Structure 1
Amino acid sequence: MQSNKHFLLFAILVLLGIYSLQAQEDQVQPLPIKALKDTIIVPGLPDDLGKEFQTEIDSVSTDTIAPKRNSLLSKIEYKAKDSIKLSQKEQKIYLYNEAEVYYEDTELKAGIIVLDYITNEVYAGRLKDSLGVYTQHPHFKQGTNEVTPDSIRFNFDTEKALIWNSRSSQEAGLGSFGSDAMNVFAKVTKKENDSVYFLYEGKLTTSKDTADPDYYIRIRKAKFVPKKKIIAGFSNMYIADVPTPIALPFAYFPMTTGRTAGLIFPTFGNDPNRGYFLQNGGYYLPIDDYADLRMTGDFYTNGSYGFRMQSAYRVRYKFNGTVRFNYENLVTSQKGFSDYGRNTIFNIQVSHAQDPKSNPNSRFSASVNLGSSNYYTNSLKQQNIPNTQNNTLSSSVSYNKTIPTFPMINFGITATHSQNTRTGNIDMTLPTFTGSVERIFPFAKRDGIKKGAIQNINMQYNVRAENRISTVDSLIFKPQMFKEAKIGARHTIPLNTNFKIAKYFSVSMGGTYEDVWTAKTFNQRYDEAINGVVRDTVSGFDRYNRYNLSTSIGTTVYGTFNRGEHRKVQAFRHVMRPSISYSWAPSFDQFYDTYERDDELVDYSRFEGTLYGAPSLNKSSAISFSLQNTLEAKVRDRDSTATEAKKISILKSLNFSTGYNFQADEFKLQPVSVSGGTSILDNKMSINFSGSLDPYALDNAGNRVDEWNINNGGSLFRLTRASMNISYSITSDIFSKEKQDEQNKEARDYVAQSGGRDDDLFGKAENFSERQYKDDKGGDVDNPVYGTKMPWDLRFAYAATYSNARRQNEISNNSLMFSGNIQLSPRWSVGVSSGYDFVNKGFTLTQFRFARDLKSFRMDFSWTPFGTYERWYFFLGIKSSILQDIKWESRSQPPVSIQ
């Protein structure tokens, strides 16, 4: 009986313990788990996996430091949705359905989890539903590393693990192209520690479709360091599970994010004029957190080569900019042949912008685009196609400073450059200095209201000094370009006042005094031996002064015609701003000399040919007229809920101007200039026009004579010139123009910085090898069989010029340009840019564009079917920046080199 009591007490204690375990299902339970040696053996796993990455164990058998006792460092937390089963016999805990285990920074979620508290190991796997489909795949997370396998075994003591059919995503990026996701799959993964994994039969892909990737790189064995690198043995590429010849005996995949230094893989090809080539190969170097450097080059087997350097920099809230340098040594044919030629071209682009908030009193900016006039026409880069139609290169580098005193002082230094790519002529100012003192009112209080003519008297001081150079591009940066430089300065002091007459007329009066300095002058004399005028340069400082007086009166006249609020067009409003001005300047004959030619005295000024020219020898007394017009209409809004009528512009401007010079010997009346503009079709179409009307007649030879045209049997005015420009842009209702502009922003910025148009009427500056897709459609997209919406955009530009100054009565310019893009499907898009010159009877630069989104890949095709720049370009490559060097490019080149 006594023994039965002890047995009964033991049974009660056991039942209470089991009940306590079930009651504390979701509570933290410390487990006395003893760490044992890792003895995991995986069937089918090579024994040498990871051996090449292991280090030898120290053979020293004696260690004075006592080894630490293996034990868990913190508590294990676990829970499950359906049940938690404790097996005392197996010394394991079974968690079923939405099971979760937490230990320090390790998280494990799965359909089923088995926790062995003797070996400190945990096993996680999937659950099979009634249809035989596996669900609740294990999700293993340690720190920031996450893995989604089919099953996993993990040891809490050693933190080693074996993972079957693991799937993980790693953010990685190369160079300056941002970051992408690299999906890593492996049949068996051995986790050595927090930072090292060994993979067996793995796959690497950037495909969004992780279940069935359209491509992957198969790796047999590899060492994987999360967020750093993957070092693999033999690797080859599979497309649609079909192996390809693209293979490497070993491979290195960087997994770092941000900017990383590395090689840029070149493009291979063949040029009919220069032979086989390597293009756009080089090196990318991130200098620091604020700047980078990209260096690429080209090499041709006939000796041609090219070098390009690009650097971008940015300091937040201070400044940002880019620097580009392009150099090409183009060789045509081979030495010894009659068609052999060599041409060196270069181009420099600099863009610098300062944040206005960084220093409100000091600002530095730069926009430089200079180089060889034939750089864009000779360069074979696809990106430069639109710039071949640009006739002007311009640059400006300026520094401005404001001294916030009273009066405020402003000064600036500017260097400018203007280059005609057709003629090769270059005009530069190195540099230009400008300065000004704030306008002051000597007869009025500084903060008071200024009334009347006296209090509104104001004066100002301005100075402008220049070193102007005119040369050709073949002499640029050579000593010869500085020999004909013109140096001078002009000081200006304007004195003005304004007031009102009869409440409605505004009157302004004033004058301007100028003092002009020059560094050299020119004396002239007639040489009978050569029967011509000889100019002698006189070096040294010289100056002259001049002044003028002017006054003007103007007003504003409003005219309104009301038709009634019940009508669709309720009213018209016409605004006129007429003004009349008069200017007078004396003769400055004191700055003139004479020389004798054929018994006649010829007047000349030693300041002729200087930077700011010579003062006028003739007295000036002229009056000018101008009339500005605007016409608006008030129409009933189509929206029935609108409470007010809508204003629309019929004529944004219609301006007339002319003048009459009382002191002129002939042609006293100036031609009437007409200009205007408007917008129609909801401001989608812009129309601008201008013209010139001459009141004087022509003789039989087409020369202008001092006789009224109406007295010579003609009309009151003779149309000598007229021009018109029309531009029209429209998009489909669902086609987001802002989104399209964002995708093409980089290409358009490149063309605009190069001096070209900021639209695609001359084609797009496409650089397929470096294009990035910010809004990637790598996954499935909605593509209905019967699609009713196809986004599109369309642009037109028409320009015409009429010339009749000498009765030629001709259309000197008459051209139509257009461009359009249409998205045939969510993954197919096409575009075209072209135009027609009706005067020369030929098409302008024509370009066809095709693009196909192939999920992980992209395909681009650009074709210029005819003309000087006839060529085509095909590209097929991976969109992700991680594997952007896996690509295929093919292109054609012009049959003859452009010179």
Structure 2
Amino acid sequence: FNQLLVGQNPNKVISKDTDSLDVLKDTIPVLIDTLEMVTDTSGVLDSNTIFKPTIDANITISSDSVVDQVVYGSRDSNYMDVVNNQIHLYGNAFVEFQDMKIQGAYLIFDFNTNIAHAFKEVDSLGLYMDRPTFTNPDQEFNYQELKFNFKTQKGIVYDAISKEGEFFLHGNKTKFLSKANDTLNLDDQIFNENAIITTCNHEHPHFGIRCSKLKLVPDKLAVLGPSNLEIAGIPTPLFLPFGFFPLLQGRSSGLIFPSEFTYDKDLGLTFRNIGYYFPISQYMDVRVLGDIYTNGSFATRVQSSYKKRYAYTGRVELGYSRIKRESSIDGSDELSTSFSIQLSHRQDAKAHPYRSIDGSINLQSNQYNSRTFNDFDNVFENKLRSNFGFRHSMPGTPFSFSMTLNHSQDNRTRKVTVTLPNINLNMNTIFPFKRKNVGSNDEKWFEKVNLKYSGAFKNFVQTTDTTLFTQAVFDEMQYGFSHKASTGASFRVAKYFNVTPSASYEELWYFRTLENQYNSELLFDTISIDTIPLTGQEVVNQDTTFGTFSENIVGGFETFRKFNSSINVSTQIFGTKTFQKGWLRGIRHVIKPTIGLSYAPDTRAKYIREVSTDPNEKFVDPLEYNPYQGGIFSAPLSEKAMSFTYGFTNQIEAKYFSKKDSTEKKFKIFNNINVNGNYNFVRDSLKWSDVRLSGNTTLIKDITNLNFAATYTPYLKSDNRSIDETVWSRRGRLLAFDNFSATFNTRMTFKKLKAIFQSDNKSDDKKDIKKGNKTKKKIEAGSIYDLLEKFSINHTYQVAVRRIDEVDTLMVNVHSIQLRGRVQLSKNWELTVGNIAYDIKNKSFI
């Protein structure tokens, strides 16, 4: 072996033709200077004098040597076995030859055979540590053990792991053949024995295709022999006689093989998802896919994905299907066509500071998904929604603009609702009278007046998926404008009172409204036709209808205007009682009373319309209706209202003395207790409203939430209906009880439950609690507590009391318990239990 090996010492040179005994006798050879000094004819040596090396032409190169130098080294140590002509390298050892590199914990290089033998490192417990690697420009192997011949460039790798494209290849025994010394092959070849191909990146994959033999051409193709699917190390009955896996890097046009072969008694044999792939550019690609049925039906889809970094990403899919089935009535062909438009687009947050376009569209006709696909998700997908829009924040102004498409579709009822466009112009709250460069202390009352505006235009239609994009859609389309403006202010009066006046105005423009019509014609409806047995004469049974109603959408410009105003006054009242001794050290009660006056004009009398119900004037009983019902904007009609409103919000807190840390601590008795009602000046009767009381608090260390509500009425009742007679006039009281309800919601996790059962009264545990540490009693691994640690129990109990015919009736409305959580089966597997609920009241599972 006369090829030079370059190691850690560049001055150390070993030749195969040199006798090993001579090497032992004289380990420091005399280096002969091969550089001759070129004589300067001028006799003067310059600093730029060039020395020319002299090459000994008598040195011959063995035909068995490798064609290039081999570089080796190690981090820890190495020693030379002169007898066997080997070098042993320890600790991050490596051997490099041309563009190939071997790394391992322990490495032996044999100069006689040109073979490098690498091993995996084993720690003091006998466990394998980091896996060694073998790399070349085409692939990288992780292995347990490796043998590689640098001359023939062939290698054997044991327990190798390599990555090709999106796949990970695990081989029990792998043979590597380099293309460098093989005149018959233009590519490197890898042969695997007892291999598994998978997309799982774990060292021990959770799933994959196990094959006895595998041939791999890097970056091109993997060919499998007989193989079967393996899950969690367990073989399955799913068997493949052979398989081909393309391993091409990058994108290129090519045929897409069918992903499914199915059979349907009506459609015949199906070849699904056959097509072609086109990489348009580095930002975009296109897939043309189709489904072919042997009965003549077909479906086609065009899919395109696009992405530009820091700009946008999205996907577009257009689908069309033409399905032919045989009629069950007369055997004729029934054709059904449908289409689908799907779009998703997301703009990167860094693309533009104040303008964005994003959203998704999922629009189908004639139940496209359920007719084209046969999987569960598509067949039983009943709700489809779309929301796609353009938004502009309009910097430098108080306005923001948006234009969106909104769509909802129900495949069960076949109803489709589309709003296109939905344009909104919103103005943030401004203070139009506020002066510039003036401090808050010098602020005048008129500077606190604010103004807000919002405008909208909508184009709306409700139709069916079979009439979508037909003339019927345009005939039923509704559109209109909406304007909303509001103003308000907040002033402090007499130091302790906040006064907040406000007013709002709304105006709606309609171009299509509802019109009810009465038809007084006599209509005959045939119910049945009977035959008289003896004479054979037919008897026609008819039902007569006199007068019918019809609802029509008519065109024309209509407006709806609504105005309301209010003024409210609020303050806060504090009450505190302290104690110097005992456990209870203080109680604090905060009352926040609010009174107000509101006014709204009558819109019912102004906009309500009537339609006659009888052509006879003696029986005039007109039917009233709202012409804006079902319109583009909601316009509920209401009577005139001028009301006095009142409300009280109460918060009750307490302070107690803790003997554990000798400090006073706060807790809330009630988070809030609300009391409110109103008095309407313009009503002809029952001017006082019911008094409503509500509140909530927490119990048992915040484990249970209590919500309660009660209603008291100022009027007497007859047949459970209020009459215009006060409780005060009959009973000498202001209010009478009407109803009460309380709901207890308790949520307890098994982790918290375990902590409660593990707690004891030992002083050590108490000290830990004082320090804020959570002391836990050790439980053996794998116990039932550990298995259910991520579970929670929810208990709901609702009780109500209602006064019916002057008798209070107690009833339990809800009493149920729910269990939900997760079970950690292993490090990589988890079982989720969504909801197990039992109705204790009705004694049944929910």
After superposition, the Cα gap between the structure-2 partners of 1:842 and 1:395, relative to the gap in structure 1 and judged at 3 Å, is farther
Partner of 2:786: helix, strand, or coil? coil
Instruction: Report the TM-score when normalising by structure 2.
Output: 0.64
Check if 1:789 corresponds to 2:786.
yes
Check if 1:230 corresponds to 2:222.
yes
Tell me by how many angstroms 1:400 deviates: 2.8
Tell me by how many angstroms 1:196 deviates: 0.9
Check if 1:834 corresponds to 2:831.
no
Partner Cα separation in structure 1 for residue 796 and residue 319 of structure 2: 34
2:222 touches 2:245 (CA, 8 Å); kept in 1?
yes
Residue ranges of structure 2 left out of the alignment (5+ in a row): 1-17, 32-54, 182-186, 522-545, 755-779
Check if 1:550 corresponds to 2:547.
no
Check if 1:732 corresponds to 2:751.
yes
Partner Cα separation in structure 2 for residue 324 and residue 677 of structure 1: 51
Check if 1:83 corresponds to 2:74.
no
1:814 touches 1:838 (CA, 8 Å); kept in 2?
yes
Matched with 1:577 is: 592
Partner Cα separation in structure 2 for residue 384 and residue 490 of structure 1: 38
Q: Could you tell me the percent identity over the aligned residues?
A: 22
After superposition, the Cα gap between the structure-2 partners of 1:313 and 1:678, relative to the gap in structure 1 and judged at 3 Å, is farther
Partner Cα separation in structure 1 for residue 275 and residue 746 of structure 2: 43
> Which residue of the other structure, out of 149, 153, 160, is the alignment partner of 1:154?
149
Partner Cα separation in structure 2 for residue 17 and residue 729 of structure 1: 84
After superposition, the Cα gap between the structure-2 partners of 1:447 and 1:244, relative to the gap in structure 1 and judged at 3 Å, is same
Tell me by how many angstroms 1:502 deviates: 1.5
Partner Cα separation in structure 1 for residue 427 and residue 365 of structure 2: 40
Matched with 2:555 is: 539
With 139-148 and 236-245 compared, the bigger mean Cα shift is at: 236-245
After superposition, the Cα gap between the structure-2 partners of 1:519 and 1:821, relative to the gap in structure 1 and judged at 3 Å, is same
After superposition, the Cα gap between the structure-2 partners of 1:422 and 1:524, relative to the gap in structure 1 and judged at 3 Å, is closer
Instruction: Report the TM-score when normalising by structure 1.
Output: 0.61
The alignment covers a number of residue pairs equal to: 720
1:610-669 CA distance string (max 9 Å, x none): 5557796854312222333445566789996xx987766655454443222211223323
Tell me by how many angstroms 1:603 deviates: 11
After superposition, the Cα gap between the structure-2 partners of 1:595 and 1:826, relative to the gap in structure 1 and judged at 3 Å, is closer
1:521 touches 1:537 (CA, 8 Å); kept in 2?
yes
Tell me by how many angstroms 1:94 deviates: 1.6
Partner of 2:28: helix, strand, or coil? helix
Partner Cα separation in structure 1 for residue 447 and residue 639 of structure 2: 35
Q: Which amino acid aligns with 2:395?
A: P
Partner Cα separation in structure 2 for residue 446 and residue 534 of structure 1: 60
The 5-angstrom pairing of residues 112-261 of structure 1 reads 112-116=108-112, 121-124=114-117, 140-143=134-137, 145-146=140-141, 148=143, 150=145, 152-156=147-151, 160-172=152-164, 174=166, 181-186=168-173, 188-193=175-180, 196-199=188-191, 201-204=193-196, 217-220=210-213, 222-225=215-218, 229-235=221-227, 247-254=239-246
Tell me by how many angstroms 1:583 deviates: 1.8
Matched with 2:27 is: 19
Tell me by how many angstroms 1:245 deviates: 6.8
Matched with 1:400 is: 391
1:783-827 CA distance string (max 9 Å, x none): 967787334322537486979799899877776544233336657
Tell me by how many angstroms 1:463 deviates: 1.8
Matched with 2:649 is: 628
Matched with 1:657 is: 676
Q: Which amino acid aligns with 1:792?
A: K
After superposition, the Cα gap between the structure-2 partners of 1:270 and 1:574, relative to the gap in structure 1 and judged at 3 Å, is farther
Matched with 1:670 is: 689
Partner of 1:192: helix, strand, or coil? coil
1:850-880 CA distance string (max 9 Å, x none): xxxxxxxxxxxxxxxxxxxxxxxxxxxxxxx
Matched with 1:366 is: 359
1:475-522 CA distance string (max 9 Å, x none): 666654554544332323323232111222111223334433221456
With 312-321 and 105-114 compared, the bigger mean Cα shift is at: 312-321
Partner Cα separation in structure 1 for residue 744 and residue 255 of structure 2: 49
Partner Cα separation in structure 2 for residue 558 and residue 18 of structure 1: 103
The 5-angstrom pairing of residues 713-752 of structure 1 reads 716-717=735-736, 719=738, 724=743, 726=745, 728=747, 730=749, 732=751
With 550-559 and 823-832 compared, the bigger mean Cα shift is at: 823-832
The 5-angstrom pairing of residues 727-876 of structure 1 reads 728=747, 730=749, 732=751, 789-790=786-787, 791-794=789-792, 796=794, 798=796, 817-823=818-824, 830-832=831-833, 833-836=835-838, 842-844=844-846
1:324 touches 1:349 (CA, 8 Å); kept in 2?
yes
Partner Cα separation in structure 2 for residue 424 and residue 720 of structure 1: 43
Q: Which amino acid aligns with 1:622?
A: S
1:607 touches 1:613 (CA, 8 Å); kept in 2?
no
1:452 touches 1:498 (CA, 8 Å); kept in 2?
no
Partner of 2:495: helix, strand, or coil? coil
After superposition, the Cα gap between the structure-2 partners of 1:508 and 1:145, relative to the gap in structure 1 and judged at 3 Å, is same
1:800 touches 1:815 (CA, 8 Å); kept in 2?
no
Partner Cα separation in structure 1 for residue 143 and residue 737 of structure 2: 84
Matched with 1:107 is: 101
Partner Cα separation in structure 2 for residue 486 and residue 147 of structure 1: 67
The 5-angstrom pairing of residues 315-334 of structure 1 reads 317-318=310-311
Partner Cα separation in structure 2 for residue 315 and residue 835 of structure 1: 48
Matched with 1:430 is: 420
1:12-40 CA distance string (max 9 Å, x none): x95698412799xxxxxx998847479xx
1:672-704 CA distance string (max 9 Å, x none): 45555556677666665666655555543x555
Partner of 1:789: helix, strand, or coil? helix
Tell me by how many angstroms 1:456 deviates: 1.5
1:698 touches 1:806 (CA, 8 Å); kept in 2?
no
1:150-170 CA distance string (max 9 Å, x none): 5524235xxx42323533212
1:428-452 CA distance string (max 9 Å, x none): 5433322233444343214534534
1:311-340 CA distance string (max 9 Å, x none): 8876555556678999999999994799xx
2:790 touches 2:821 (CA, 8 Å); kept in 1?
yes
Tell me by how many angstroms 1:290 deviates: 6.7
The 5-angstrom pairing of residues 609-620 of structure 1 reads 609=629, 611=632, 619-620=640-641
Tell me by how many angstroms 1:300 deviates: 12
After superposition, the Cα gap between the structure-2 partners of 1:561 and 1:468, relative to the gap in structure 1 and judged at 3 Å, is farther
Tell me by how many angstroms 1:211 deviates: 9.7
1:594 touches 1:603 (CA, 8 Å); kept in 2?
yes
Partner Cα separation in structure 2 for residue 810 and residue 128 of structure 1: 73
Partner Cα separation in structure 2 for residue 727 and residue 279 of structure 1: 55
Partner Cα separation in structure 2 for residue 284 and residue 730 of structure 1: 53
Matched with 2:486 is: 494
Partner of 1:455: helix, strand, or coil? helix
Partner of 1:454: helix, strand, or coil? helix
1:555 touches 1:577 (CA, 8 Å); kept in 2?
yes
After superposition, the Cα gap between the structure-2 partners of 1:395 and 1:628, relative to the gap in structure 1 and judged at 3 Å, is farther
Matched with 1:742 is: none
The 5-angstrom pairing of residues 275-354 of structure 1 reads 317-318=310-311, 335=328, 354=347
Tell me by how many angstroms 1:266 deviates: 6.5
Partner of 2:446: helix, strand, or coil? helix
After superposition, the Cα gap between the structure-2 partners of 1:404 and 1:166, relative to the gap in structure 1 and judged at 3 Å, is same
